[in-house]
Amino acid sequence: MILTLDVGTSRTKAALWAPGGLVDVASVPLTTRHPSPDRAEQDPSHWWRSVVDACAALESRTPGRLAAVTAVGCTGARQTFGLFDAAGTPTGPGIVWSDGRASPAAGGDGRAPGTTWVLSTLDWVAAHRADELARCRWILAPRDVVAWRLTGSVATDPTLASLTGSYGPDGTVSGTVAGPVADRLPPVVPSDRVTGGTDPRVAGDLGLPAGVPVVIGAGDRQCEVLGTGATPLRPMVSWGTTANVSRPVEGRPDPAPPGLVATRSALGGWQLEGGLSAAGSLLSWLGRLSGRSATELAALAAASPPGAHGVTAVPWLGGARAPWWQPGVGAAFVGLSGSHGPADLARAVFEAVALDVQRCLEAMAPTGRRGSGGTGPGPTGLGLAGGGAATPVWGEVLTGTTGLSARIRRSGEAASTGAALLASGAVGEPWDLEDLDPVVGELVPDPTVVGRYGDLRAGADRVARALVGAVPSGPR
C-alpha cells in the first residue's frame, strides 16, 4: 500500500492507495492570511502539522492500517515557499504563490512571468526582511518541507525548480542567482527518486513503519498530468483553489507561446501551462458574501442559463494571470441589475474561468498553424482534475465553452494518483493508471450550449480587454 501526501494551497490530503485504486483519503484545511490586499501568507509550521493531522484522520478510521504502507509519495503546491533554519523552524511567514507584493508584469510581447515570480519575491524578502533570510538555512516549498521531515534529507525536484527562476534546465542553480539566496536553495533530484526512509521517530508519530521509502514526487500540476493520463491531444484541466491547463509537449518550447509558461514534467519532459488566478477561491469568496457554501453555489449556478442572464465575470481575484499576466487587474462582475442573484453570479464565475481556460488552449495551439515550440495541432479532448471534476455545472460550462469532451476518472484525486504512480515506479513496482484510476465517464458537449457560448465569446472578450486596458500593469 502507498501513502500519498499532497500539501495544496487550501488543503492537505493524505491518501492510501492499493494497485486497484484509492482505499481512503482524509484532508485538513490550510489557512491563508491576507495582511494587506497584495499579500498572501501561511504559517509554514502548519504544513507539517496538517500532514500529521491528515494521517491521524486516516488512522482513526481503521487503526493500524498505516503500518501496512510500503512507500510514501509526495506532491504539493508550487511556488509557495518558506524560510527555515537548520533545525526546520520557520524564520518568517510562508509566502503563497498568489502573493502580489513583488509580482513581475508580463513583458511587452505578452509572455508570462510565471517562472520568475519566486525569484522576484525572494529579492523582495532580501530587501525588506533581510533578517529572516539571514537566519534561514533553506528556502523550501511545502512539499519539500514534508519530505525533509519524513527523511531528514533536503531536496526539491525539477518540476518545482523549473518554476522558481533560480535553476537552469539542467537543475543546477542559475548563474544569475547569487548571494544568500543561491546558498539556501535545495539540491534538485529526479521526481521519481527515493530521497530516504522514514525517520523512526517521525514514522512512529504518523503510525508508519520506520525506514519506508519516501519519494520526493512532483508538483501538483505535473502529478495531475500523470493522474489524468494527459497527452498533447488531451490536455489536463484542473479546477481547485485556482484553475490550470497543462499540455505535455515533445520538447522544451523556447520561447513559450505568449501568456504561457514551460515547466519540467514529472518524468523528464516538458509541459506548457496556463495557470489562472482563481477558480474555487472566487466561488468561496462569493460564498462568504452570500452566506452560501461553494457546493450550494454550484447547484444554484446549474439553474442559471448559459450567459447567466447577462452577467459577465472576470475571475482575476488577486490579479490576472494566464493568459493575460496583468497583476494590477482585479476580478469584476459586469452587467448586474436588481434582478440578478447568487445563481447568476455563480454561473458567471464558472463561465469566466472556462473562458480563460479556452484562451489558454488557443494559445497552446493557435488555430491554423503549429504553436510555438512545436506544440502541434489543437486538442481533441480534455482530462479533468481537481475538486471541480465532479461538479456537473463545471463540466457543462467547460465542454460548452471549449467544444471538447472531458474525461472523468474514478477517484477524483488526480494529483494524489500521479504521486502514487511516481512512488510505485520509484520502488520498482510500477502501477498502471488504468488499473489504479480508470476513466468512469466522458462528458460530451451539448451543441446548443456550444453555440450559445460561441455567440457570447466576443462580448466577454471585450469586457476582459477593457479591464486589462483600464488598469496600469505592475503590482498594486
d(CA 420, CA 17): 7
CA 36 to chain centre: 23
Sequence ranges of the domains in the chain: 2-221
DSSP label of 92: S
Backbone angles phi, psi at 205, to 5 degrees: -65, -30
Cα of first residue to Cα of last residue in the chain, in angstroms, is 48
pLDDT per residue rounded down to tens, the chain (476 residues): 999 999 999 999 999 999 999 999 999 999 999 999 889 999 999 999 999 999 999 999 999 999 999 999 999 999 999 999 999 999 999 999 999 888 665 554 455 666 678 988 999 999 999 999 999 999 999 999 999 999 999 999 999 999 988 887 777 787 678 788 889 999 999 999 999 999 999 999 999 999 999 999 999 999 999 999 999 999 999 999 999 999 999 888 888 899 999 999 999 899 999 999 999 999 999 999 999 999 999 999 999 999 999 999 999 998 999 999 998 899 999 999 999 999 999 999 999 999 999 999 999 986 433 334 445 678 999 999 998 999 999 999 999 999 999 999 999 999 999 999 999 999 999 999 999 999 999 999 999 999 999 999 999 999 999 999 875 544 33
pTM: 0.94
d(CA 306, CA 328): 29
Backbone angles phi, psi at 44, to 5 degrees: -60, -25
Q: Which fold has domain 2-221?
A: Nucleotidyltransferase; domain 5 (3.30.420)
